[in-house]
Chains A and B, each alone.
Chain A
Amino acid sequence: MERIEALKAIYSKLEDCIVVTIMGAVAAEIQTIGHKKNFFYLQHGMGLASSVGLGIALSRPELQVIVLDGDGSLLMNLGTLTTLARYQPANLLHVVFDNESLLSVGGFPTATSTGTDLQKIADGAGIPNTRFADSLDDFKQQFNQALELDELTTLVAKVEAKGPSAFVTDLGLLENRFQFKRHLSEIPQTSKDG
Chain B
Amino acid sequence: MPVSTKNSQLIYDALKACDIQLISALPETWLVHLIRMAEDDSKMTLVRLSKEEEGVGISVGAHLAGTKSAMLMQNHGLLQSINGIVSVAQLYRIPLLMLISYRGWFGERDPWQTEGGLVTENVLRSLRIPYEFLDDPNNVAHKIQQAQTLSESSSRPVALLLCRDLMWEE
Contacts and interface: CB of A to CB of B under 8 A. Distances in A.
Interface string B91-123: 111100000000000000000000000000000
Interface of A: 20, 40, 42-60, 77, 79-80, 82-83, 86-87, 173-174, 177, 180-181, 184-185, 189
Contact of B83 (A45, A79, A86): A45
A47 B53 contact: yes
Given A44-B87, A45-B88, A48-B54, A83 B64 contact: no
Nearest to B93: A174
Given A52-B64, A82-B50, 16 more contacts: A20-B61, A45-B57, A45-B84, A45-B87, A48-B53, A48-B84, A55-B57, A55-B58, A55-B64, A55-B69, A56-B61, A57-B61, A58-B58, A59-B21, A60-B66, A177-B64
B92 A174 contact: yes
B62 A55 contact: yes
Interface stretch (B5-13, B41-49, B141-149): B41-49
Interface of B: 21-22, 45, 47-51, 53-67, 69, 83-84, 87-88, 91-94
A53 B61 CA distance: 6
Given A42-B88, A51-B54, A59 B65 contact: yes
Given A44-B88, A177-B93, A59 B61 contact: yes
